[in-house]
Structures are given as structure tokens and as C-alpha cells.
Amino acid sequence: MSIKKIWSMILILSLVMAVLVGCGEISQETVGKGLDILTQIVEEELSKAEDTGAIEENITEQETAGEGNLQVHVIDIGQGSANFIVGADGKTMLYDAGGEDSSSGRVVVDYIKSLGYEKIDVAVFTHPHADHINGAPTIFKELKVESVYYPKVTHNTKTFENFANAVQNAGLKFKTAKAGVKIPFGVTTAEIVAPLSNQYENLNDYSATVKLAWKDTSVLLTGDVEKTSEKEMIESAYDLDVDLLLVPHHGSNSSTTNAFLDKTTPAYAVISCGKDNSYGHPHKEVRARLNKRNIKTYITAELGTIIATLDGETIGFTTVPK
């Protein structure tokens, strides 16, 4: 019996007893005994509620935690990379935030706030190139960031200096992004699968590559990894089989090898690049490899922001045109 119902009963019975006393039908002593009994019932029910409350709360948390979707927002940032991820239980992750110039930070912040978020639980920046980090100062200034992951590599540029200062000014320290690191991300599994080496000739190969999994669906976030890092991942013990691949390096032919696609076996792919960009991304060779495997491909330059929703069994896509 609920406490609300018990109090309602007490109120009704008290009124009835008051009327009966007034009419001389029962004595005041009898009323007192009746109220004592009701009070005892209330105390017993309250005790039960305290004992079961924690259990009910835990059951509710367990039930609701698994009911959400994992969403990957590939933000149309032009020639760059900015991805906002909402975990199945509402935890948030930012994976890169860079474009053609520092105004990309404003685009990312405005987009995240338009979804109703003011905080980022985890930020992952893949490598030091400007088109992946130049929006960071605005991010750290306007949004609350709880933790930040970044590989052990620096770059002698003003953009990287601004990035590092923004992290420091936010009172944060870099957590090393390297293969084997598991990122706390609520009920969604998040593991870094690259870089596997400590040193590379090409800065792109330092890219922090993250596999996200929710129930039976998964996605691989790849930054700008190129053939060297791809080969290391292929030869590693990591399970790279995913449903969705964020195509490396904006669709450059220096990445997304046949061997890498054979290892990851995605059903879907998303490419982030700018319309009519000077690099010619995505390269026709990469598109041909994707088409050969019947991988359904979405491109921000053509469709705008792309949102992939993983419900644990299937993946759906929506777009937000410019």
C-alpha cells in the first residue's frame, strides 16, 4: 500500500470519527486507540518503503540505462573534423573540433548547445593538425569539459600552442590517448585502439582511433590515420569489426586501404570534408573501394551534418542540411 493512500485513509477516518464523537456514537478514548493503530500502520509502511526504496531506484537505473541510443553527430564543419557523440545513457563525447579556421569552434559550440548540452564528459583530440584542433579554445571557453585525451605528440605551430593553453586554462591535463586505453563513457564501451607505436614519421598516424560499442552495434572513429597505423591495427589483436566507419583523413587515398576495409567490414561509412575542397577529398579511389563492398556512404560536403543513431541492433541516419 502506498503512503499517499494510507494518509488519505487516516484523513477520511479522522473526519468520520470526529462526526461520530460529535453525535455521541463513540467515545474519545475509542478514537484515540483507532488513531494509534493507524499511526502504527503508517510507521510500518514507511519502514518498508525505506528498505525497498534503494532496490527500486537501482532497478529503475538499470532499466533506463539500457533504453537509450548511441548517437554520432558528424558536424558539417567544412574541410575538417568535428564529431559530437551522445552515449546510450546521455554521456557526451567530443571527437576532434577543427575546420578551415578558428571559427570552427563557434560552429561546434552552437551546434552542441542547440541540442541542449552545456557539458562534455570526454573530449578526444586525435592529432595536432589545425583542421582537427583549431576550434578547441572556443570549446574549452564556453563548454564545461570534464576530461581530455590526446596522444603523445606536439607540433611547432601557433594553433597547437593555443590548443594546449586552452586545455591548461580549463584546469585540465592531457590523458594519454594510446592503444589499450578504455575511456569511461557510461554504458557505452569506448576503447582506444590506436596509436600502437610511440613514434611515427607522419603526424596523421598518431591519430587517436576509438571504437565505440553499444550492444550489438559499433562505430570506429579514425581521425587521420594513414596506411602505417592502419596496418598496425590490422595486425593487432583488436576486434575492428564495426557497423559504421568514420572514413580516415577525409577520404584521402593515403588511407582506407583495401586491407583496412576487409578488417573493419563496415556496412556504413561517413566522410567529413569540405565542398569543392582543394585536396579533392574524398578521392575517387576511396569511393571506389567503398562502392565495391556495397558500403553505404554519407558525405558531409553533399548532405551537411550527418547523424547516425545506433539503437543496439540497427543503425539509422538523418541529415541536417546547411
Helix, coil or strand: residue 26: coil
pLDDT of residue 40: 57
Q: Given pLDDT bands bounded at 50, 70 and 90, which one contains residue 80?
A: very high
In this prediction, residues 295-306 reach a mean pLDDT of 99
pLDDT of residue 322: 79
Whether 306 contacts 313, CB under 8 Å: no
Whether 148 contacts 175, CB under 8 Å: yes
What would the pLDDT profile of 48-64 be if each residue is shown by its tens digit? 433 333 323 332 333 33
pLDDT at 35 over 80: no
Complete DSSP assignment for 179-245 = TTPBPP-TTSEEEEEE--SS--SSGGGG--EEEEEETTEEEEE-TT--HHHHHHHHHSS-----SEE
What would the pLDDT profile of 279-297 be if each residue is shown by its tens digit? 999 999 999 999 999 999 9
Task: Identify the residue whose cell numbers are 552545456.
Answer: 118
Q: What percent of the chain has pLDDT over 90?
A: 79
The domain segmentation of the chain, as residue ranges, is 3-65, 70-320
CATH superfamily label, 70-320 = Ribonuclease Z/Hydroxyacylglutathione hydrolase-like (3.60.15.10)
What would the pLDDT profile of 118-128 be if each residue is shown by its tens digit? 999 999 999 99
- How does the average pLDDT of the chain come out, rounded? 87
pLDDT at 41 over 60: no
What would the pLDDT profile of 90-140 be if each residue is shown by its tens digit? 999 999 999 999 899 999 999 999 999 999 999 999 999 999 999 999 999
Helix, coil or strand: residue 259: helix
pLDDT at 70 over 60: yes
pLDDT of residue 61: 33
Checking DSSP bridges between strand 119-120 and strand 81-86, what pairing results, if any? unpaired
Q: Given pLDDT bands bounded at 50, 70 and 90, which one contains residue 245?
A: very high
Complete DSSP assignment for 123-183 = EE---S-HHHHTTHHHHHHHSEE--EEE-S---SSHHHHHHHHHHHHTT--EEE--TTPBP
